[in-house]
Structure 1
Amino acid sequence: MLFFQKPFVTIHFEEQFNLARVKWSRFENSYEYREGLSQALALGKLKAPQNWILDLRELSAIRLNDQNWTVTHFLPQFHAMVMGGKLAIILSEDFYSNASIGNIARGMQPLENVSARYFNDEESAMAWFASMAELQ
């Protein structure tokens, strides 16, 4: 199910996998970045997915004020949503984007009760979800 789509982000929910898929493209400003994250939270509140894929391959570098906003506003709510679930992060192809993601990761609290891994492609992330399901 397509939940939200703009030129800078597409958010899907896949009922059969209880999976939220957030795919970023290049964004131009803070409003677009924050709108994308806010829509991801809205999906989380509506559907309570246990599995998340954050596809950052095309994500632009994140400005410092947006990094701080992510740590203080987005991540506490997101962390509460993914507790007990699985989070696959597909890394960006952009060096500066990965550096800004690293800054955000250093500023956040450790993810407790969340299985999280980094990937280079979606196929590897889906294979990980499948292997985790087999273990349960």
Structure 2
Amino acid sequence: MIVFCAKELCVQHDEELDMMRAAWVGGRNMRGFREAFSKFQKLLAQFGVGRALLDLNTLPEVSVYDQLWLSTVFMPSLLLLPLQKVVVVLSPKNVYNHQMVEGLLMAVQLLIRFDVQFFAQPDAAMQWITDYSPRLPILQQEWNQHCAPTSRNTDEVAEPQASYTLRKPLRLPS
């Protein structure tokens, strides 16, 4: 279910999958950045999820002051949560933010107790973080109804497009 939708961040939670998904939908305006990320962290703590997906594809370049806040406030509180898997959706074309996120992770790498993966597109990221759950079409439909699109350009896909159906492998004649 969509648990929080503000002008900066849209958040979806699925209790059955123990997963929370968030995406920056605030456009170029970064005024509500800290408040939105604080709200996301509080929701992660409130629901105690083990899997989190953060789509940063439309996030503008993060200022040095916001990076400092992320490293001194957001990351330490994130490390205390019962997370097992975290996905950051961020295009490799967004070099500045990609390096910023990698720098944040590197600074706390010895304290991270969860798996962190990067994906370029949210569909493939959702498949991975939910272990190809049959609930994906329902979650995607709900997301599309309530949240703005977050992918800038689909021609940069490094992962296969999500089909939401697992196909049986072809069996070659013996």
Q: TM-score, normalised by structure 1?
A: 0.82
2:5 counterpart residue number: 5
Q: 3-state DSSP class of the match of 1:17?
A: coil
CA distance in 2, matches of 1:8, 1:47: 20
Aligned positions of 1:86-105 closer than 5 A: 86-92=85-91, 94-105=94-105
Aligned-residue offset at 1:16: 1.8
CA distance in 2, matches of 1:27, 1:5: 17
Gaps of 5+ in 1: 132-136
Given residue 28 of structure 1, which amino acid in structure 2 is its aligned partner?
Answer: N
Aligned-residue offset at 1:12: 1.4
Quickly say closer, same or farther: Cα 1:105–1:112, change in 2 above 3 A: closer
Aligned-residue offset at 1:94: 3.1
CA contact (8 A) 1:89 1:119 kept: yes
Q: Quick check: which has more Rg, 1 or 2?
A: 2
Q: Does residue 122 of structure 1 match 2:115?
A: no
**Normalized per residue, which structure has more helix?**
1
CA distance in 2, matches of 1:27, 1:11: 19
1:15 counterpart residue number: 15
CA contact (8 A) 1:58 1:94 kept: no
Percent identity reads: 22
CA distance in 1, matches of 2:102, 2:115: 18
Aligned-residue offset at 1:41: 1.4
Given residue 109 of structure 1, which amino acid in structure 2 is its aligned partner?
Answer: V
Aligned positions of 1:1-136 closer than 5 A: 1-25=1-25, 26-29=27-30, 31-83=31-83, 85-92=84-91, 94-106=94-106, 108-110=107-109, 111-129=111-129, 130=131
CA contact (8 A) 1:61 1:100 kept: no
CA distance in 2, matches of 1:21, 1:126: 9
CA distance in 2, matches of 1:58, 1:77: 24
Aligned-residue offset at 1:82: 4.3
Gaps of 5+ in 2: 133-174
CA distance in 2, matches of 1:54, 1:88: 6
Q: 3-state DSSP class of the match of 2:108?
A: coil
CA contact (8 A) 2:79 2:113 kept: no
Q: 3-state DSSP class of the match of 1:11?
A: strand
CA contact (8 A) 1:50 1:82 kept: yes
**Normalized per residue, which structure has more strand?**
1
- State the Cα RMSD in Å: 1.9
CA contact (8 A) 1:8 1:27 kept: no
